[in-house]
Structure 1
Amino acid sequence: MNLDTLQKDTFKITKRVSISDLPTTLELNASEKKIKKELKKARKKLGDLQNTQYAHGKYGVLVCFQAMDTAGKDSLIREVFKDFNVRGVVNYSFKSPSERELRHDYLWRHYIALPERGKYAVFNRTHYENLLVTRVHPQYILNENIPGIEKVEDITPEFWDKRFNQINNFEKTLVENGTIIIKFFLNISKEEQKYRLLRRLDKPNKNWKFSPGDLKERKLWDEYLGYYEEIFNRTSTNYAPWYSIPADDKPTARMLVAKILLEIMETYKDIKEPELPDELKAQIPNYINQLNND
C-alpha cells in the first residue's frame, strides 16, 4: 500500500466483519523515517485545527481507543496529540470502577468525562469495557448492584442486548448534540503481544508495567476477540464508526490514527474562527492607536 494514497475508509468497519480477517500489520512502501515524518505533519495540522475548533466552540470530539493489552495505547496517545494545546485535549484512562462510580449507572463516569464544545476527550479504554470485560468476567456485573441481577445466572442474553442498545443510543444522542465520535481498535497479533510482554520482563525500566494478571487474561485471548467482533458488528454505525488499525508496528499505527483523525476533521468545513462584529472591526485602528499611545 502506498503511504501517499492512504484513506480512512480502508480501515473503517462498514459491514459485518470476522475479526480474523482484520490485519495486524500493514505493508507500506515507506521507510520508518518517512512514516514518522507523516505523523508529525498530520499531528501539527490537527493541533492547528483544534485551535480553530476551540474558538468555533460548537463541536466536541470524543476519540475512543480499545485494544488488547500491550497494544501501545498510551504511547500512541502521547505521540498523536503531542502538538495540541494542552487546554484543548483531556485524556481519561478508565480502570476498574471506583466505589463512587459503582453507585451510579455504568455510563455515568463516561458522561462526566465527555468533551466540552471546542475540546477533545480521549478515552483510553472506554464504555465498551462494559460489553467486553464484563462478558469475559460476568461476575463483575454483580458489583453494579442492578435491581433483578442477584447472581451471574440472572445475566441473560437479553441483558446484553439492552446494553448494546443503550450504548448505541448513548452515542447517537451525543452526535446529535454536537459531539464527533471516532473509535479506534488497535489490532495486535498474539505473537506481538507475547514479544511485548517478554520485553516488559526483560527490561528493568519496563518491569513495572507487568502484572501476573496479564498472563491470565492472555489465556482468554480468543474469548476477548470474539466479543470484540460482536462489538464491531453491532456498534460500528454511520454516526460513530469503528476503525481497525494494524498495530503490530507502533510507528505505523500512530501515523494511521493521526491521518484518519485529520481526514475526518477536515470534512467539517463549518469549523471556522469566529469573526468580530462589524462595529468592533471598524474600531480596530482606534484600539491600536490607544495602545500605541498608552
Structure 2
Amino acid sequence: MDTRRLQLLLALSRLGSMRAVAEAHHLTTSTVSQQIAALARDAGTDLVEPKGRRVRLTPAGRRLSDHAVTILAAVEAARVDLDPDAEPAGTLRVGGFATGIRVSLLPVLADLADTHPRVDAIVSEYEPVEAFRLLVDDDLDLALVYDYNLAPASLNPALDAVALWSTPWGLGVRADTTHGTTADLSDYADETWIVNSRNTADEAAVRTLAALTGFTPRIAHQIDSLDLVEDLILGGYGVGLLPLNRPTREGVSVLRLADPAVVMTAYAATRRGRESWAPLRVLLDGLCSVTGCAPPHRDWPRPAAADPPASR
C-alpha cells in the first residue's frame, strides 16, 4: 500500500471531509478522492461511504486508519534509522571475546551512554568462529574477534574488518622448570600442550610453531579460560600459549618466543556496508578513537604491539 494514500486516509479520519484533507495537504478535492479510491482498490474493500453530502469511513476504513498510525510511525522510524545524519538511535547486537569486550568495547559503551543515550547494546561473549558465523547470518551487528600472525583468519566476502590492537604472546610454563626469559621450543617437544577449546587458531599457531622447530606437538587439553590454563600448567599437565603482558599467578612464567614471535591481533568486524548505520557508525568511531584504528576495510593489517591485556 502507498504510504502517501495511507496518510490521506488517516487525515480523513481526523478531519472528517475530503475538502479539509485537500486543504491540509495542498491538493484538490478530486485528487484526494482518487487517491482514497486507489487505496480502496489496494485493500480490496470500500473505505468510505456517503453521509449526506459528505463521506465517512466504513468500518474497514476505520480499521485501516488505525493500522495507518502504526505503519506510518514505523516508516518514519525506519527513515530516521537509515538517515546517516540523524541522531543515532537503536539497539546494537555485539558479540566477541572477553578481553575485546572488556578492553575495547565497555569504555566506548560507557561514553555512548552519555553522548548518545538513544543507542543501546546487547553484549554476548563468543569466540571468533562463533562470532563470525553469527555476523554472516546477520545475528550480530558487530563482532570483536582475533587471530594470530601464525594462524590468520580468512575474512568472509560479506564482511569488513578493522584492526584494533595487537599484543605478543609467549609460552606459559611452570616457573620452577626454567631459568631464562626466552623459550627454546625444542626443549618442550615432549611436553603435553594446552589449546583453546572453542577456537582453532590457538591450535593452528601451536602446530605451526612446532613444525618450524621440527616436532609434532602432543595436544591433549582444550581449555577456554586462561585462568584454567594456568591451573593446568601449575599442576604439571602441560604448557600453552599465554599473553606476555597479562599478569600471571605465582608459579607460572610466560617465556618470550622468537623466530617466529606470536602476535595476537584484535579486530572489529561488521557486515559489509553496514557501517553507515548511525548507531554502528558511532560505535566504530568510538572504538577507533580509543585504539587509533583506521576506518573499516577488507584486509587484516597487523599494527605494532600495543598495551591492552590480552586474554580470551
**TM-score normalised by structure 2 residue count:** 0.24
Larger Rg: 2
Q: Decide which structure has greater helix share.
A: 1
Normalised to the residue count of structure 1, the TM-score between the two structures is 0.25
Looking at secondary structure, tell me which structure has more strand per residue. Answer: 2
Higher relative contact order (Cα pairs below 8 Å, separated by 6+ residues): 1
